[in-house]
Structure 1
Amino acid sequence: MPVLTFRTWILGITSCALLAFLNQFFSYRQNPIGITSVSVQIAVLPIGKLMAATLPSRPIQIPMTKWSFSLNPGPFNLKEHVLITIFANCGSGGVYAVNILTAVIAFYKRRMNLAAALLLTQTTQLLGYGWAGLFRKFLVDSPYMWWPSNLVQVSLFRALHEDERRPKGGVTRLQFFLIVLTTSFCYYIVPNYFFQSITAISFVCLIWKKSITAQQIGSGLQGLGVGSFALDWSTIAGFLGSPLATPGFAIANIMIGFGIMLYIVIPIAYWTNTYDAKKFPIFSSHVFDQYGQPYDLNQVLDSATFKFNETGYNNYSKINLSIFFVYTYGLSFATLAATLSHVALFHGRTIWRQTKAAFRDQIGDIHTRLMKKNYEAVPQWWFHLIFVVVFALSVLTCEGFGKQMQLPFWGVILACALALVFTLPIGIITATTNQTPGLNVITELIIGYLYPGRPLANMAFKTYGYISMIQALTFLSDFKLGHYMKIPPKSMFLVQLVGTVVASSSYFGTAWWLLTSVKNICHQDLLPVGSPWTCPGDDVFYNASIIWGVVGPLRMFGSRGLYSKMNYFFLIGLLSPLPGWVLVKKFPEVKWLRLINMPIILGASVMMPPARAVNYISWGAVGLFFNFVVYKRFKGWWARHNYVLSAGLDAGVAFMAILTFFALQNYSVSGITWWGENLDDHCPLAHCPTAPGIMGDTICQSIK
């Protein structure tokens, strides 16, 4: 089949740029919907077929060369469709470096060099591709690494390209998708515009309107979320992705970890006043001083040098965190350590066996054998060349432009080394569970100790270390999709490379536009009522830069800080997989024991914040229902329609949100003025401190 056709390039680049724009656009909203490439996968099929039916097929000669190409080399085929989807995948993953731009411009209120900012977004996205080639044999060729997220797209490719006879009294999968898309599209105008309060409903708050404790327990946005739920797909899938596309055992592990954290650990810690927890909100990503007030950053950050002011810090206050934020960091430490020990215990022998087989080229299944028989592999030097070029540009980005990034060259080298070490163990977790433990906290910790007092250096190091690993895994995941669909590896490589450059540019341009055009973006207290531009993820990123970059881990989690005991979580995480491993060895006939995954359980709630309790509760309820109840009772329906349902819901929400913004909200046309227009759960007291003498804001004072 023709692969890199005119249709592939035009539809691929267009969909990549469009999806990048949409995802960056949504990332600044209260429920940042992640629009996956599945939506593009559906949308481009009729367009591709239309191009095949209308474009001329006569070859076009390229002047002064022997090369020619055709606008229409024949029917729109499956492999073109897959490569267009790979383009779209590049546009759906996000550009982490944009958080740095947002933190500097929107929160720190400083300017950034345009060229440095653009290079930062490009190099952080491309760096990981340089060593992805090292792990192809283990994470792509291995039949044990199946990458669950790819099954959504494989299922859809089958639905869209295979001839399917409509069941009597039923619908085809494509018809089902269109029904779901239309329904989701029409419904989303309600939670997105007319009745925004149903994005988070908290019954407890509606009953006990003047009780701080009751609202702390019941608020799905600022509390424990008991009795909270949502009637909005963007709330359900906004932070954790579609629950329909996550394996049932992974959902169960996540909800167990979430339940232990939210309903055992946090209540005990808060109501025993651990770390003066009652001085601060029970759930918040912000930083506070010793008096329970928002931390005055101007006291500890020199505005001229953009570096830590130790004298001001000593005369002011140590940084304090909400009890939930404290334990979020502790569990991040535990998750990282548990990932290493879990992989060593449960997969160590397999990795060693695969390593030996890889050197003898004996690893693989039918897919691998077919790929090796029919296609030439990507030469290893291609990966090496990318690494050398991008690494040089990364050093230029950090050392050039007046050293605006604050990060020296050795920081870039260390970030690369960290990412290289963790790519394989975390890749195994991702390829088998659809969950990816991150390096964001450990990278902040390391550079915070080595190079404290420089917030921009901390953010840059974290991005180079964390995202280069994520990009390597993204590359490998797409390669696995191409593996399943029998796409020539060199074509895959080229599409991913071009797609990443296009996507990075689109993310950068969209962020720059919104940061310079939306007044008071990311500042919830200054935005109009009901405005969605609250930047939840960027808010957490900014506060993390204060904790790790400005003040530094030595004054937070070290000997000079309040939270040094959180370091014990490294030991807890390292030992946590051991009991499960012993039980599996002792009772091998008990199959469900193998499904207990401590890295997922410990890391279940690390997305909080910016995710909230209502996101987890709604996500878990939908995921458990479809992946256990529906799967068990209606297995045939689940196999045909589950992933298609997920794609339709995502696409409908995305299209309606964009239409609403450009047709109404962009012109300040608001909905009906009533209590349901507020984009909250009507729990105004949930953020109030309960310690004696700590008054909080005006709302809290009115109750006290």
Structure 2
Amino acid sequence: MAESTLDHKQEYAPEKTLDLNEKGLASATDVSLEEEEPENSPIEAVRLAVPITDDPTLPVVTFRFWIISFLFTALGATIQQYYFFRSTSGAFSIFFVNLVSFSLGKGMARWLPNNKATILGYELSLNPGPFNIKEHALIGIAVSTGASAAYAIDILSATDIFLDYRINVVFYNTMHNTDEYKRIRLVRGWSRMKFFWVVTLCTFIYQFVPQWLAPILIYFDWLCWINPFNMNFWAMFSSISGSGILSLSFDWTSVGGTTMYLPLSAQLCSIGGMILNYWIILPILWMNNVLGIKTIGRPLTSKLFYDNGTQFNINKFLNADYSVNEQLYEAGPPANMAPMYALGFMTSFVALAGCISHVVCFHGAEIWANWKRAVGSTEEDVHTKMMRVYPEVPQLWYAIFYVIMAGLAIVACEMYGTQLPWWGLLLSLFVGWFLTLPIGVMNAVTGYGPGLNVITELICGYILPGKPIANMTFKCYGYMAMYQCNLLMSDLKLGHYMKIPPRSMFVGQFWGTIVGAFFNYLTMILIIDSQREALNGEKPDPNGLWTGQRVQTFWGSGLIYGALGPARMFSLDGKYWFVYIGFLVGFIAPVLIWLLSKKFTKFDWSKVNIAIIAGGMGAFPNGYAVGIVSSLAVCLVFQFYLFNYHKTWWKKYVYILSAALDTGAAFTGLIMFLFLGGGISPNLSVSVPSWWGNYFVEDNDRFPNYPYLAVDRCGAAGNEWTSGKL
């Protein structure tokens, strides 16, 4: 695999000018330089971005690949898992990985000796020559595969906390086109790398202000300060506990770099859904005390309650195997959920049904035409022809790998008390497979796509009632089967255009997954051990930075769909029957929009995406109403004003600027956790002295921001208002 690099490229021209062998391949030494137009991809975006050249001799799975991909996958998995337990959601930028790995790869190619090491009988050169584009791309693919917060961590976190039951193609070509990459200069004549590191450093320093010194800047709920001890003001204007109407945030992790480049229409649909849900629907429900929302006492919560507002505790009704004791539960009053939590389930059904309906209405004809053209066709894209020089990954490899992993999953389910039988696991995998296509299309077109978390919960809730851990496990496998499939296809497409040998792709993706999973789990253990009380709600974090909200939501859903069951919680004669209307709304609304597109043709009605609007409405229960105004402002500046009126500047700066901002913020969070938040050792936990920006005076352990309820200076500690309970 680690052969020396040759200055040798494979180039394609029209098939009639090539001396093709029996497999339709050009010899690696054939270069056709006919005057006529060379054969190219029929897709314009591919023609403009992907050259029709290749060097099959470039080494890919090298010593540099193993080292660099390990470092960045470990770093990314740690950072992403850290943000899983934070009140704001930052990002680990793959753009940062690509930039820095380029420099590291070049440095290793320059300084490493060309000695060879033998590992398990395999001889590997420490320095097989210049750092090349294929190594670089495979590093990015391996990192993107593993540098995420593993969804299965939700199960491990929930059972631990609550049960004590322990990119793109153009970028690579630009960087490795050395003359062009070095020629581009940014502000003050800086290179891209210098610009990136300067912005990253500035962001890194700045983020200590909202994330550590003055958390009030994350939740700048200025309207709440008019009357902070009024319960209605708290519910309307607190971004920690309520609607967060017109709240501001000066923390970059509450905005994120994607607001600078995702399609404007998609972002407006998403933000519009959040505004509709948080700023309009929630106040109406609260002011009219719909379904006893004031008795529950919190507008946004994923916990369950009795009619009198007392919190429901599932542990009192569990058998030894964590299944529900039906007789014991039925003997007492029923558990209720907050109206906004129930509405979140409804909007998830709208999003899923809306995704399918939207794809069928606006893209169905195109998909069908492409399918008919592909089936039985002997024509091949030029890039497919070029990839034939490499041995393909046999389908048998994937089949064997799938069977082994499914088998191990079944063994894990049976051995570790997940309550999920083998046939339930296989059903969850089938659900994910069946819904991969429509969700993949939505992701490809808009950058957004609904998850399968709620529909999988619903299915399992009906077939395995009274089993909360089984429900969470079913959801994890069903959701991730779809999600990982789409990631796999995205990486394979990048590998196809970068001419990475398929078997090297297979190795890279497997490697990234293994490394990422290990560091996900390690980070989870460190955070739970150091922040358990803040995560399970026993003692709130005075600065509002640590939260178990996502884990609580995962666990709450497991209770609703798994322990109590949808047949009980969403019965037609019950309080929450309306959630199923979401399916009807999701299927019908895109059809109506499609009909409008036929009547009023001057407007692109496909941009009005019900699935994305519903996704924005469903931001809770997985997050707070933080950063809506700030995100909208950044979106309009970059995606409307700069993109339309200063496009040259936008193309030159937007990706590297967004990556630098995300990277600086991510490193701030990592350093805070390891060296200021007790991540490495409790002795390294450092708190900033109280002042206006993080003001808290401990009246008792329960209300550390007394007399305020939280760091945003909103709400009354000690229940000192006229109604409601906390």
Residue equivalent to 2:511: 498
Match of 1:669 among 676, 686, 693: 686
CA contact (8 A) 2:261 2:639 kept: no
Residue equivalent to 1:74: 129
C-alpha separation between the residues in 1 aligned to 2:292 and 2:379? 55
The answer to whether the aligner puts 1:562 opposite 2:562 as a matched pair is: no
Match of 1:4 among 61, 68, 80: 61
The answer to whether the aligner puts 1:430 opposite 2:446 as a matched pair is: no
Distance 1:154 1:364, change over 3 A: farther
Residue equivalent to 1:508: 521
2:640 aligned partner, one-letter code: F
Q: How does 1:208-607 map to 2 (within 5 A)?
A: 208-237=227-256, 242-280=258-296, 281-299=298-316, 301-361=317-377, 368-369=383-384, 371-372=386-387, 374-401=389-416, 404-527=417-540, 529-530=542-543, 532-559=545-572, 561-588=574-601, 590-607=602-619
2:651 aligned partner, one-letter code: A
2:191 aligned partner, one-letter code: T
C-alpha separation between the residues in 1 aligned to 2:260 and 2:389? 34
Give the CA deviation at 1:322.
Answer: 2.0
C-alpha separation between the residues in 1 aligned to 2:515 and 2:68? 13
The DSSP-based 3-state class of the residue aligned with 2:617 is: coil
Distance 1:494 1:338, change over 3 A: same
Residue equivalent to 2:725: 696
CA contact (8 A) 1:82 1:482 kept: yes
- Structure 2 residue runs without a partner (length 5+): 1-57, 679-683, 696-709
Give the CA deviation at 1:287.
Answer: 1.7
C-alpha separation between the residues in 2 aligned to 1:616 and 1:362? 50
CA contact (8 A) 2:133 2:172 kept: no
The DSSP-based 3-state class of the residue aligned with 1:584 is: helix
Residue equivalent to 2:104: 47
The answer to whether the aligner puts 1:646 opposite 2:658 as a matched pair is: yes
Residue equivalent to 2:715: 684
Give the CA deviation at 1:15.
Answer: 1.7
1:502 aligned partner, one-letter code: V
2:514 aligned partner, one-letter code: V
Give the CA deviation at 1:671.
Answer: 0.9
Residue equivalent to 1:659: 671
The worse-fitting range, judged by mean Cα deviation, of 302-311 and 465-474 is 302-311
C-alpha separation between the residues in 2 aligned to 1:447 and 1:152? 43
The DSSP-based 3-state class of the residue aligned with 2:616 is: coil
Distance 1:531 1:569, change over 3 A: closer
Give the CA deviation at 1:525.
Answer: 3.8
Give the CA deviation at 1:529.
Answer: 2.7
After superposition, the C-alpha distances for 1:235-269 in whole angstroms (9 at most, x for unaligned) are 223xxx73124221210111222222233333333
Distance 1:214 1:526, change over 3 A: closer
C-alpha separation between the residues in 2 aligned to 1:96 and 1:686? 35
CA contact (8 A) 1:454 1:549 kept: yes
Distance 1:184 1:364, change over 3 A: farther
Query: 4+ residue stretches of structure 1 with deviation over 6 A?
Result: 158-161, 686-690
Give the CA deviation at 1:310.
Answer: 2.3
CA contact (8 A) 1:689 1:696 kept: no
CA contact (8 A) 2:221 2:237 kept: yes
The answer to whether the aligner puts 1:174 opposite 2:229 as a matched pair is: no
Residue equivalent to 1:94: 149
Distance 1:688 1:489, change over 3 A: farther
C-alpha separation between the residues in 2 aligned to 1:345 and 1:687? 53
CA contact (8 A) 1:204 1:215 kept: no
1:219 aligned partner, one-letter code: S
Distance 1:662 1:361, change over 3 A: same
Distance 1:688 1:613, change over 3 A: farther
Larger radius of gyration: 2
C-alpha separation between the residues in 2 aligned to 1:313 and 1:560? 19
Give the CA deviation at 1:641.
Answer: 0.8
The DSSP-based 3-state class of the residue aligned with 1:543 is: helix
Give the CA deviation at 1:687.
Answer: 12
Give the CA deviation at 1:100.
Answer: 0.7
The worse-fitting range, judged by mean Cα deviation, of 667-676 and 436-445 is 667-676
Match of 2:85 among 28, 31, 52: 28
Give the CA deviation at 1:453.
Answer: 0.7
The worse-fitting range, judged by mean Cα deviation, of 189-198 and 606-615 is 606-615
Distance 1:365 1:204, change over 3 A: farther
CA contact (8 A) 2:302 2:338 kept: yes
The answer to whether the aligner puts 1:189 opposite 2:246 as a matched pair is: no
Distance 1:68 1:209, change over 3 A: closer
The DSSP-based 3-state class of the residue aligned with 1:69 is: strand
The alignment covers a number of residue pairs equal to 648
Give the CA deviation at 1:51.
Answer: 0.9
Give the CA deviation at 1:571.
Answer: 0.8
After superposition, the C-alpha distances for 1:18-57 in whole angstroms (9 at most, x for unaligned) are 2212221332222242323333222222222221111112
Give the CA deviation at 1:159.
Answer: 9.3
2:561 aligned partner, one-letter code: W
CA contact (8 A) 2:457 2:471 kept: yes
Give the CA deviation at 1:460.
Answer: 0.5
Distance 1:437 1:79, change over 3 A: same
Distance 1:228 1:192, change over 3 A: same
C-alpha separation between the residues in 2 aligned to 1:498 and 1:327? 40
2:617 aligned partner, one-letter code: S
Distance 1:569 1:605, change over 3 A: same
Q: How does 1:53-132 map to 2 (within 5 A)?
A: 53-60=110-117, 68-109=123-164, 111-112=165-166
Residue equivalent to 1:134: none
The DSSP-based 3-state class of the residue aligned with 2:627 is: helix
**What do you get for the CA RMSD once the two structures are aligned?**
2.7
Give the CA deviation at 1:354.
Answer: 2.0
1:282 aligned partner, one-letter code: P
C-alpha separation between the residues in 1 aligned to 2:205 and 2:380? 46
C-alpha separation between the residues in 1 aligned to 2:330 and 2:562? 17
Distance 1:637 1:504, change over 3 A: same
The answer to whether the aligner puts 1:15 opposite 2:34 as a matched pair is: no
TM-score (norm 2): 0.84
Q: Which has the higher contact order (CA 8 A, sep 6+)?
A: 1
The DSSP-based 3-state class of the residue aligned with 2:183 is: coil
Give the CA deviation at 1:97.
Answer: 0.8
TM-score (norm 1): 0.86
Distance 1:593 1:543, change over 3 A: same
Distance 1:382 1:330, change over 3 A: same
After superposition, the C-alpha distances for 1:275-300 in whole angstroms (9 at most, x for unaligned) are 2333232222222111122223234x
Give the CA deviation at 1:599.
Answer: 1.1
